[in-house]
Amino acid sequence: MALIVPLPWSRRPWALPFLTLLAPSQRANVAAVQARRTVIDWTVVMVRLVARGRP
């Protein structure tokens, strides 16, 4: 996830990453015998992590 911020020395706003998530590949999930999560599943996880930190 990234936060879009205007910087004084740039004409365009920058997207500064504040949360990254390492999603395993399908081959890694098969090797570990785990259910594969979709991109939407990982997005839900990240949104919940961000929401948990908000007051």
* pTM score, whole prediction: 0.63
- Identify whether 45 is part of a domain: yes
Residue 4 pLDDT class (50, 70, 90 cuts): very high
| pLDDT of 2 | 92
The tally of domains found in the chain comes to 1
pLDDT (tens digit, 9 = 90+) per residue, 34-47? Answer: 777 788 888 999 99
Range of the domain at 48: 21-55
Instruction: Assess contact for 2 and 16: CB atoms under 8 A.
Output: yes
Residues with Cβ within 8 Å of residue 49, at least 6 apart in sequence? 19
- Identify whether 8 is part of a domain: no
- For every residue of 3-53, DSSP letters joined together read EEE--TT-SS-EEEE-----PPPHHHHHHHT-PPPPHHHHHHHHHHHHHHH
- Identify whether 32 is part of a domain: yes
In this predicted structure, the answer to whether residue 29 has a pLDDT above a threshold of 90 is no
Long-range contacts of 15-19 (CB under 8 A, 24+ apart): 19/46, 19/49, 19/50
